[in-house]
Amino acid sequence: MRSFEIKNRTSTEEIKSLRLITAIKTPYLPDGRFDLEAYDALVNVQIKNGAEGVIVGGTTGEGQLMSWDEHIMLIGHTINCYGGSIKVIGNTGSNSTREAVHATEQGFAVGMHAALHINPYYGKTSLEGLVSHFGRVLSMGPTIIYNVPSRTGQDIPPQVISTLAQSANSANLAGVKECIGNDRIKQHIDKGIVVWSGNDDECHDSRWNHGATGVISVTSNLVPGLMRDLMFGGKNPSLNAKLMPLIEWLFQEPNPIGLNTALAQLGVVRPVFRLPYVPLPFAKRVDFVNLVKNIGREYFVGDKDVQVLDDHDFIVLDRY
Catalytic (active-site) positions: 146, 177
Nearer to a second copy, 120 or 198 (CB): 120
Q: How far is the CB of 139 from a second copy (least distance, A)?
A: 11
Using CA atoms, how far apart are residues 65 and 304, in angstroms rounded to an integer?
A: 28
Cβ 14 to a second copy shortest distance, Å: 18
Distance in angstroms (rounded) separating the CA atoms of residues 168 and 127: 18
- Alpha-carbon 55 to chain mean position: 4
CB of 29 to a second copy, least distance (A): 7
Give the β-pairing of 195-197 and 173-178.
Answer: parallel
- Our CB check for a second copy shows the closer of 21 and 112 to be 112
Q: Cβ closer to a second copy: 239 or 253? A: 253
Nearest in space to 67 (alpha carbons), one of 33, 44, 27, 96: 33
Q: Taking a C-beta distance cutoff of 8 angstroms, is the pair 258, 250 a contact?
A: yes
User: Quick one: 71 or 207, whose CB is closer to a second copy?
Assistant: 71
CB of 57: closest distance to a second copy in angstroms?
12
From the CB of residue 132, how many other CB atoms can be counted at a distance below 10 Å? Answer: 12
In the bound state with a second copy, the residue whose beta carbon lies nearer, of 244 and 278, is 278
- We find the least distance from the C-beta atom of residue 168 to a second copy, in angstroms, to be 16
Q: Which is nearer to a second copy, 72 or 230 (CB)?
A: 72
d(CA 248, CA 68): 32
User: Is-contact 197 215, C-beta < 8 A?
Assistant: yes
Partnered with residue 145 across adjacent β-strands are 117, 176
- Cis amide leading into 276 (omega within 30): yes
Residue spans of beta strands (DSSP E) within the chain: 20-23, 53-56, 87-90, 114-118, 143-147, 173-178, 195-197, 214-217, 272-274, 315-317
Closest by CA position to 32, among listed 270, 267, 308? 270
